[in-house]
Each structure stands twice: as C-alpha cells, then as structure tokens.
C-alpha cells in the first residue's frame, strides 16, 4: 500500500516538476514577438525581384539600384548619415533598413504609404533618389530579352510598372532576419541571454520604451511625436522641412514632428540613428530617447543594460549574423 502511494506520489511529483523531460522550450508569453517564418513565395518571382533590387536601370542615369543605398551585407541600409541620390546630392533623410520592412504597418519615416509596392513606386520617381519615371523604366527593362522572358513567364501582361513593383515587393518579403539571440530567448531558450541582457530587457519594459517600440518588429506599428517630453528640434537647431514629419502630409498641427516609430531589430548595426541621422552611436540615441521621449534621467548602469539588450536584437540574413 505504502509502496503504491509512494510511487503515485513520485509520479505526480515527476509530472509537476517535469522530471525526466528535457528543459522546457515553450515560447515565452511576452509583449514582443519573434519574427514569423518567411511566407512561401514563388521562387521565380523572388529571383526576378532580387535582380531588380540590384538593377541600376531603375534610376534615371543608370547609377543607382536599390542596393546602392540598402546594403544587405551591412544591416540593410548604408552607414552614411545621408545616402546620395542619382545626382550625387544627399537625400534629406537617413536611409532606414529594408530588412523586416514588410512587417511595418506603413512605409517611410512619415508613413506616407501603406504598401511596399507604393514605396517602390515613389522611390523610382523621387527627384532626390532615383529620379526616373515609370515609362522610362518599363521601356528600358523591356529592351532586355532576359527581363522580357522572365516577366512574360510570371505575368500575363509582361513588363509593367505594377509587375516590377510586385516582383520587388515579393523579394522584400523574403528579407527577414530571424534567429537573433532575443528571438531565440522568446522561443524558449532562456539560457541564451546573459543576466545583464535580461536585466536590460526588464529596464526596456520598466522605463516604457516598449510603449512605442513593440510588436513583432519592436517598432514599426505606430506614429509618435519625436519630442514628447521636450523640444528636441529647438535643442538640436537648424530646422529643415523633413523634420516636420507627418505635418507635411496632413497640415495638422498635431502631426508636427510625428514619425513612424522605427523598428529596433538589428539596431546595433544600423548607425547612424534617427530620421536626421543626428545620433552617431546607440549610446547617443538612447540618451535622446530618455530625455525627449520619456523625460527621464536614468543611471549610467540602466542605460548600459538597455544597450546590451538592444544588441541581442541582431538577427541573421542568408544564414549569417548581420
């Protein structure tokens, strides 16, 4: 009798404590979510999109491809404060990464378009970026038998502006950067972060960074004013038109200096920071955030912990860490 009891008790204990099974690898229930898997795409379309991404014929003088400003080997942007347009003049906004951009709720710093296709439509004709027009692009691509063939195989109407945009957007949807140490942590590998990195994540939540940088992209899902708790722009000086943010679109006073909250994925490899590229380092960027978005003056230790956490957000592309 007592033996049975002990055995039963032992079994219950074993069940409760998960004895005999490997350490639990259940996903954590956190406000931030790991990247989803890349949704299945037509490989021929992805390949066409990849070629178009590297195609200088998309710019008016055949000098710039998407890849000229969005370097995939180094974070999906370039490391310049401002990329140079087709005419060699700087674009007035810092280049954001293309990595994981498909997960953002809108595109561009001011979120003026909803889709990747619309973003491409704009950048090709932008007088400060590629400077072309769609008629010319379609004409130039059609002149190449290889493009003729590739488009004809995928689209009944062959080379067209909409189809160029569709192929490029399809490729961009494959540009996700999975497997960051933080995502592995979220997926249940809680040992992968150091204690300091875990404290950093806790601080990120406790101070309220997560109120704005949240969701699957740790940002990219809302608009916020830059300078909620203080006048960032007066302190910085030299106001320029692109500082106006969504005000340029709506003309509404409440949209002055309002921007899309950027994703913090891969942030350690995408310096410089902010739409105006004013922060050269992650340290500078986090200082500005504390001062103007939170109105807080944290200890040096807390800032350093948060930066250590931010460094766990670097993922992989093409099987290699960024």
If one asks whether residue 113 binds ligand HEC (CB under 6 A), the answer comes out as: no
Q: Least distance in Å: CB of 25 to ligand HEC? A: 28
If one asks whether residue 305 binds ligand HEC (CB under 6 A), the answer comes out as: no
Binding segment toward ligand HEC, per CB under 6 A, in 17-25, 34-42, 92-100, 314-322 = 92-100
Choice from 28, 31, 39, 228 touching ligand HEC (CB under 6 A): 228
Give the nearer residue to ligand HEC in terms of CB position, either 57 or 188. 57
Q: Which x/- pattern, by CB under 6 A, does the window 117-156 give for ligand HEC?
A: --xx--xx----xx--------------------------
Choice from 50, 60, 104, 201 touching ligand HEC (CB under 6 A): 104
Q: Least distance in Å: CB of 53 to ligand HEC? A: 6
Choice from 147, 151, 274, 317 touching ligand HEC (CB under 6 A): 274
Q: Which of 30, 55, 121, 129 is catalytic?
A: 129
Burial track 27-50 (b if 16+ CB lie within 10 A, e otherwise) = eeeeebebbeeeeeeeeebbebbb
Catalytic annotation present for 197: no
Q: Least distance in Å: CB of 295 to ligand HEC? A: 10
Choice from 34, 48, 60, 68 touching ligand HEC (CB under 6 A): 68
Between strands 320-321 and 258-260, the pairing is unpaired
Tokens of 159: 């080379």
Give the nearer residue to ligand HEC in terms of CB position, either 186 or 209. 209
If one asks whether residue 255 binds ligand HEC (CB under 6 A), the answer comes out as: no
C-alpha–C-alpha distance, residues 285 and 307, integer Å: 10
If one asks whether residue 176 binds ligand HEC (CB under 6 A), the answer comes out as: no
Q: Least distance in Å: CB of 11 to ligand HEC? A: 47
Choice from 148, 160, 224, 250 touching ligand HEC (CB under 6 A): 224
Distances in whole angstroms, Cα of residue 220 to Cα of each of 49, 99, 101, 304 = 23, 12, 8, 24
- Near ligand HEC in 186-215, by CB under 6 A: 207-209, 211-213
Q: Which residues bind ligand HEC (CB under 6 A)?
A: 58, 64, 66, 68-70, 83, 85, 91, 93, 95-96, 98, 101, 104, 107-109, 116, 119-120, 123-124, 129-130, 168, 207-209, 211-213, 224, 226, 228, 259, 261-262, 264, 267, 270, 273-275, 285-286, 289-290, 293-294, 306
Active site residues: 129
């Amino acid at each position: 009798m007592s033996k049975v009891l002990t055995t039963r008790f032992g079994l219950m204990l074993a069940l409760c404590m998960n004895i005999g099974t490997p350490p639990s690898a259940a996903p954590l229930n956190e406000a931030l979510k790991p990247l989803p898997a890349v949704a299945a795409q037509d490989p021929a379309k992805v390949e066409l999109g990849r070629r178009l991404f590297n195609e200088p014929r998309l710019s008016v003088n055949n000098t710039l491809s998407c890849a000229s400003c969005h370097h995939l080997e180094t974070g999906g942007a370039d490391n310049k404060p401002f990329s140079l347009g087709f005419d060699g003049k700087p674009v007035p906004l810092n280049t954001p990464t293309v990595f994981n951009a498909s997960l953002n709720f809108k595109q561009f710093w001011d979120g003026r378009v909803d889709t990747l296709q619309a973003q491409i439509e704009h950048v090709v004709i932008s007088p400060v970026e590629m400077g072309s027009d769609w008629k010319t692009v379609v004409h130039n691509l059609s002149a190449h038998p290889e493009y003729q063939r590739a488009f004809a195989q995928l689209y009944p109407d062959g080379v067209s502006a909409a189809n160029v945009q569709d192929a490029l957007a399809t490729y961009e949807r494959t540009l996700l950067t999975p497997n960051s140490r933080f995502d592995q942590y979220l997926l249940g590998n809680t040992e992968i972060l150091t204690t300091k990195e875990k404290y950093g994540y806790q601080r990120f939540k406790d101070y309220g960074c997560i109120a704005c940088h949240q969701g699957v992209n740790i940002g990219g899902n809302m608009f916020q004013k830059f300078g909620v708790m203080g006048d960032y722009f007066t302190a910085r000086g030299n106001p320029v038109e692109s500082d106006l943010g969504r005000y340029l679109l709506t003309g509404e006073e409440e949209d002055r200096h309002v921007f899309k909250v950027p994703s913090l994925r891969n942030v350690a490899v995408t310096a410089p920071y902010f739409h105006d590229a004013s922060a050269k380092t992650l340290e500078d960027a986090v200082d500005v955030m504390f001062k103007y978005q939170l109105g807080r003056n944290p200890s040096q230790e807390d800032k350093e912990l948060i930066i250590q956490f931010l460094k766990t957000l670097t993922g992989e592309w093409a099987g290699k860490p960024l």
